[in-house]
Amino acid sequence: MTVARIHILETHSSPPWLTPRAAYVHVPFCAHHCGYCDFAIATGQDHLIELYIDALEAELSTLKQPQPISTLYIGGGTPTHLNPSQLARMFRSIRCWLDLSPGYEFSIEANPGTLTADKVAVLAEHQVTRVSLGAQSFQPHLLRALERDHEPDDVAPAVELIKRYIGQVSLDLIFAAPGQSEDDWHDDLRRAMSFGPDHISTYGLTYEKGTPLWKQWQRGEIKPLEEDDELKLYALAIDTLEQAGFEHYEISNFSLPDKRSRHNQVYWANEAYFGFGMGAARYVDGRRELNTRDLREYIRRCLAGESPVFQSEKLGPQERARETLAVQLRRCDGVNRARFIEQTGYDLDAVASAAIARNLERGLLVETDDNVYLSRRGKYVADAVIRDLL
């Protein structure tokens, strides 16, 4: 179906959905491959860390000149698997090419088991403002099921260090792990909140094809939670965290007031961002690109002056509009009609009026004069609602 596009005269030359104000840098190194992980990681390859930083610097230099950004996010992998001198060297390279604007947000992911005082001191020295800590669970049997390499007692000292030297701390939790009970999950939420984090992410466990966890499932060695039981855990998270004063601002994310992840909101707004490193994605001027997930190939290409990109796609205007609708519905504020027209050139109803009407009638969407967003019931079946809208 072809829909009419509304032509909007831009009031500024570089809107954030075309020109990045955000950047992501991927650090693939890990001490251990967790059973559920499908990210681009490298274990047993620490001897390549220095070469990787060389390659990362070469890729960053393709910017030609420093680029101003408002948010910077370093993820992995486990970025804090690097030793302090490697972290400092990597930060210097990144900051040569990515210029943080006043009021910036600078986040990094960390594992509680590898976050030491000397590493946190390096993060603070290089002006990191926020650490996302992969706690995942406080139940020893669930950490074993997830094949995590840290213990519940590792979280408290890591949080203490972050609060002392940096300030903002976010905790990641996983629910619907094999064998998890409501009592387990309630205890995880209670213990996470006891540390006074600014932000908590709650991710339902997914069995990604090819991962060790998926293979265990296929062999019948573990049994996933029933869908209804998983839904109860999600509802418990919403109720518990909202009662404690956290805003449920995205399907999987909760924050105290004014402590939302500004970087991740760029993704959920479907705005542009730079991406650097093995397996990194970027979205610039309407084009999506993905770097190779092969560590040695990434290093070889970058050091040879070649592009590490192995996949590139530029969507047409109508496809971008539908993608924007799908991504923005993950936000609890949903899709703002006026902003949608400005960003995509399409009226929201022209893109998906019939599907919007269907889901309003089912009680899965809510509509105001300005926004369309998922209802509480709609959040439970968000993927199905989004598929219907597309």
Instruction: Write out pLDDT tens, residues 73-127.
Output: 999 999 999 999 999 999 999 999 999 999 999 999 999 998 999 999 999 999 9
- pLDDT tens, position by position, 233-242: 999 999 999 9
Please give the pLDDT value at position 292: 98
Q: Which of 205, 233, 268 is the last residue of a domain?
A: 268
> 377: domain CATH number?
1.10.10.10
Please give the pLDDT value at position 104: 97
User: Cα(140)–Cα(147) distance, rounded to whole angstroms?
Assistant: 10
User: Cα(233)–Cα(175) distance, rounded to whole angstroms?
Assistant: 7
pLDDT exceeds 80 at position 8: no
Residue range 287-303: average pLDDT?
97
Same domain, 111 and 32: yes
pLDDT exceeds 80 at position 334: yes
Residue 312 lies in a domain: no
Residue 111 lies in a domain: yes
- pLDDT tens, position by position, 225-280: 999 999 999 999 999 999 999 999 999 999 999 999 999 999 999 999 999 999 99
Residue 307 lies in a domain: no
pLDDT exceeds 90 at position 170: yes
Overall domain count for the chain: 2
Please give the pLDDT value at position 389: 87
Q: At what angle do helices 117-125 and 155-165 cross, to 10 degrees?
A: 30
Please give the pLDDT value at position 13: 57
- Decide which of 139 and 10 is more confident: 139
Mean pLDDT score of the chain, rounded to an integer? 93
Residue range 341-352: average pLDDT?
94
Q: Which of 268, 285, 308 is the last residue of a domain?
A: 268
Domain that holds residue 64: 22-268
Contacts 24+ apart (CB under 8 A), 2-5: 2/318, 3/318, 3/346, 3/350, 3/351, 4/346, 4/347, 4/350, 5/317, 5/318, 5/345, 5/346
Cα→Cα distances 372→17, 205, 329, 352, 388, Å: 20, 28, 8, 11, 15
Residue 303 lies in a domain: no
With cut-offs at 50, 70 and 90, classify the pLDDT of residue 11: very low
pLDDT exceeds 60 at position 142: yes
Partner residues linked to 247 by β-bridges: 255
- Decide which of 278 and 4 is more confident: 278
Beta strand extents in 210-304 (DSSP E only)? 247-250, 253-255, 274-276, 281-284, 287-291
pLDDT exceeds 50 at position 2: no
> 72: domain CATH number?
3.20.20.70
Tell me the pTM. Answer: 0.93
Contact 28, 277 (CB under 8 A): yes
Same domain, 257 and 325: no
Q: Which helix (H) or strand (E) holds 58?
A: helix 49-60
Q: Residue 190 corresponds to which amino acid?
A: R
pLDDT exceeds 70 at position 4: no
Residue 88 lies in a domain: yes
Provide the residue count of the chain. 390
Please give the pLDDT value at position 164: 95
- Decide which of 153 and 13 is more confident: 153
Same domain, 253 and 337: no
